[in-house]
Amino acid sequence: MRNLLIFISKYNAFFLFLIFEISALIIYIKYNSFQKATFINSSNQVTGNIYGRVNKLNQYLALRESNDSLMAENARLRGKLPTAFYVDTAQKHTVTDSNYHQQYTYIAAKVINNSVNRSNNYITINRGTNEGITKDMGVISSGGLVGIVVNVSEHFATVRSFLHKDTKISAMVTDTKDIGSMIWSEDLGPHTGLLIDIPNHVKPHVGEPVVTSGFSLWPPGIPIGKISKLNAKGGGFFLNMEVNLAVDFSRLEYVYVVINKLALEQATLEAQQKKNDQDTNN
């Protein structure tokens, strides 16, 4: 307190001048209409600029919440697409009874870790068993196919990216509907895959889309990429084709985990058939 009083007494002339200057300025503006209007306009402009900057800052801070909300809404809408349902059609004499049942639902997730420059690449997402995610679920993005869930904890899951040497996905050439397999190897780079096992009689063309066949974890028609090179070497009696991938894995931010409600039933039935074949052979 003593130091403050010493400081004020030392610079009392300056503070007195400042008080008189501010008082004169207030009187000058208050009793002169032109100066008063100019001051108000200038104040409004300064205040508006400050409010604008504050608003931009608030919008930036709210981006994460907005993105999460948008992704959740997209996941809900994806679950309403025709490819998310299967048709249960039964012929009853001359009456056809068709019922549409939900087969696929989606959970939105954010990518929190990712790699693209290894021979075995993985993605970590911020959703786990608490949200209903389990091992062997398919994963897509807004651009197309991403990978397969391989490990899950309460709050996180790791996804085997398509950019993995062990990935093999049932794929379809859109024009001819022929089925093959999509694989990847490190020498192809992060933007290219290989479509194999397409019969030699098929006549595909460069630029033709390649999508999921519906024979695996994903609904049919999920984009994988477009054919970029025909007759890649090593095909033998089949065609091998290079495919430009639809997803840029280096820029992945958000994904959707695909929940196939019939996956367990199908897997159980196929496992039983495999066991029956082994028992027969023995």
CATH code of 136's domain = 2.40.10.340
Q: Domain for residue 65, yes or no?
A: no
Categorize the per-residue pLDDT at 114 as very low, low, confident or very high, splitting at 50, 70 and 90.
Answer: very high
Give pLDDT, residue 233.
61
* pLDDT tens, residue by residue, 81-111: 555 544 444 343 344 344 556 778 899 999 9
Average pLDDT, the chain: 78
Q: Token match 């409010």: residue? A: 51
Q: Domain for residue 7, yes or no?
A: no
- Tell me the residue range of the domain where 233 lies: 77-261
Give pLDDT, residue 49.
60
Segment 106-123 shows an average pLDDT of 93
Give pLDDT, residue 241.
92
Question: Token digits for 178?
Answer: 């022929």
Categorize the per-residue pLDDT at 64 as very low, low, confident or very high, splitting at 50, 70 and 90.
Answer: low
The Cα–Cα gap between 37 and 16 comes to: 28
Give pLDDT, residue 93.
38
For residues 123, 129, 130 and 131, what is the CA-based torsion angle, rounded to 10 degrees? 60
Q: Domain for residue 226, yes or no?
A: yes
Q: Token match 């006549």: residue? A: 203
Q: Domain for residue 217, yes or no?
A: yes
Question: Token digits for 154?
Answer: 């309460």
pLDDT surpasses 50 at 79: yes
Segment 220-246 shows an average pLDDT of 86
Q: Domain for residue 280, yes or no?
A: no
Total number of domains constituting the chain: 1
The Cα–Cα gap between 137 and 129 comes to: 12
Instruction: Indicate the burial class of 60 (C-beta count within 10 angstroms; 0-12, 13-18, 19 or more).
Output: exposed
Give pLDDT, residue 59.
53
Q: Domain for residue 232, yes or no?
A: yes
Give pLDDT, residue 89.
41
Cross-strand bridge partners of residue 200: none
Q: Give the range among 75-84, 211-220, 236-245 with minimum mean pLDDT.
A: 75-84
Q: Domain for residue 206, yes or no?
A: yes
The Cα–Cα gap between 194 and 106 comes to: 27
Query: Cβ distance 111 to 252 under 8 Å?
Result: yes
- CA-wise closest residue to 244 among 197, 192, 200, 178: 192
In angstroms, what CA-CA distances link 191 with 54, 100, 236? 40, 37, 25
For residues 121, 126, 132 and 137, what is the CA-based torsion angle, rounded to 10 degrees? -20
Give pLDDT, residue 260.
84
Q: Domain for residue 201, yes or no?
A: yes
Name which residue leads in pLDDT, 160 or 216. 160
